């Protein structure tokens, strides 16, 4: 187990978790930057086995639901964390555009929004080679144009090219992601709304008092979820930068989250 980055316990979070005792616990985790370290390319990302095992142990506790909430497509999530499909954990893909519970998958996005995104993707595709190192990732109802490996001097030109295309798509907006632009429908689904739907479905309309919800994430769409859920959830941001966050608690990196989960499993 990584020993470096936690173990000063985030006292507030610990007390809040202790106060959840006796109530059903819902945990929702983002993947990239939360359960997995960010890599140069999204296809290089892995979720270490040690963390997947902790999630599994967590899900085996009584009255506990483990869910995933990622911007990635469902296929990616199943490849990164195969336990989710095997055990039927609730999975939110594409930032809330798609939800899978058990074997049922439902789309939370209008068909025309999905088509607009895929049409824009077709227009971006030929531009990708003009920005060497940039990478287009198509998702259901969203796309990401990554520029982690692009010469930083070229990023403004890529952004301008994207904005020129976006003028023809008034229903789409670009959002900052980690070394990437994300394009999503506006107003679009958000992770927070999708999480709430799942928890309400299982814990009933009084879920904010009947259950405890813990949401963990590192990026802009997680911040949207933190804001959407407000005080109805315990929100944990993963990241060491001093950026503004709507989360109530913060841990520096995925290793720290892993350490926290191990400690939680050992002590609660």
Least distance to Mg ion, CB of residue 112, Å = 27
CB of 70 to Mg ion, least distance (A): 7
For Mg ion, which is the closer residue by CB, 139 or 203? 139
Q: Which is nearer to Mg ion, 98 or 203 (CB)?
A: 98
Handedness of CA 247, 252, 253, 256 (dihedral sign): negative
Q: Are 221 and 71 in contact (CB under 8 A)?
A: yes
Q: Any contact of residue 76 with Mg ion (CB under 5 A)?
A: no
42 sits near Mg ion (criterion: CB under 5 A): no
**Least distance (Å) from Mg ion to the CB of residue 225?**
11
Q: Within positions 107 to 166, which residues make up the interface with Mg ion, using CB under 5 A?
A: none
d(CA 180, CA 170): 20
Rounded CA gap, 175 and 34, in Å? 19
69 Cβ contact partners less than 8 Å away, ≥ 6 residues apart? 28, 29, 30, 91, 92, 96, 191, 194, 195, 215, 217, 222, 225
Q: Is 32 in the site for Mg ion (CB under 5 A)?
A: yes
Side by side, which strands form the sheet with 142-146?
Answer: 135-139, 142-146, 180-185, 172-177
Minimal distance in Å, beta carbon 218 to Mg ion? 5
Region of 19-27, 152-160, 211-219, 251-259 interacting with Mg ion (CB under 5 A): 211-219
Nearer to Mg ion, 29 or 131 (CB): 29
**Per-residue binding letters, 12-31, with Mg ion (x by CB under 5 A):** ------------------x-
Under the binding rule (CB under 5 A), the answer on residue 219 touching Mg ion is yes
Residue 250 CA to residue 268 CA, distance in Å, equals: 20
Q: Which lies closer to Mg ion via its Cβ, residue 116 or residue 135? A: 135
Q: Which of 17, 25, 29, 33 binds Mg ion (CB under 5 A)?
A: 33
The CA distance from 193 to 83, in Å, is: 24
218 lines the binding site for Mg ion (CB under 5 A)? yes
By beta carbon distance, the residue nearest Mg ion is: 33
Strands 25-29 and 212-217: parallel
**CB 24, CB 211: distance < 8 Å:** yes
Number of residues that bind Mg ion (CB under 5 A): 5
Q: Residues interacting with Mg ion, by CB under 5 A?
A: 30, 32-33, 218-219
């Amino acid at each position: 187990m990584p020993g470096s980055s936690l173990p000063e316990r985030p006292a507030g979070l610990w007390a809040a978790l202790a106060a959840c005792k006796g109530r059903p616990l819902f945990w929702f985790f983002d993947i990239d930057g939360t359960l997995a370290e960010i890599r140069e390319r999204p296809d290089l990302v892995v979720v270490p086995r040690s963390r997947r095992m902790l999630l599994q142990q967590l899900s085996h506790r009584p009255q506990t639901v483990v869910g995933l909430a990622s911007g990635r497509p469902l296929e990616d999530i199943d490849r990164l964390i195969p336990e989710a499909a095997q055990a039927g954990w609730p999975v939110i893909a594409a930032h809330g555009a798609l939800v899978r519970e058990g074997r049922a998958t439902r789309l939370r996005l209008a068909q025309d929004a999905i088509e607009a995104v895929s049409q824009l993707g077709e227009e971006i595709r030929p531009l990708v080679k003009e920005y060497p190192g940039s990478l287009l990732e198509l998702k259901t109802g969203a796309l990401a144009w990554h520029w982690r490996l692009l010469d930083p001097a070229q990023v403004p030109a890529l952004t301008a090219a994207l904005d020129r295309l976006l003028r023809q798509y008034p229903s789409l907006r670009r959002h900052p992601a980690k070394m990437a632009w994300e394009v999503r429908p506006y107003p679009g689904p958000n992770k927070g709304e999708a999480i709430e739907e799942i928890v309400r479905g299982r814990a009933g309309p009084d879920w904010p008092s009947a259950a405890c919800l813990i949401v963990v994430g590192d990026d802009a769409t997680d911040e949207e979820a933190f804001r959407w859920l407000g005080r109805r959830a315990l929100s944990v941001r993963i990241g060491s930068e001093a950026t503004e966050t709507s989360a109530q608690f913060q841990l520096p990196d995925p290793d720290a989250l892993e350490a926290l989960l191990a400690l939680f499993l050992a002590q609660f």
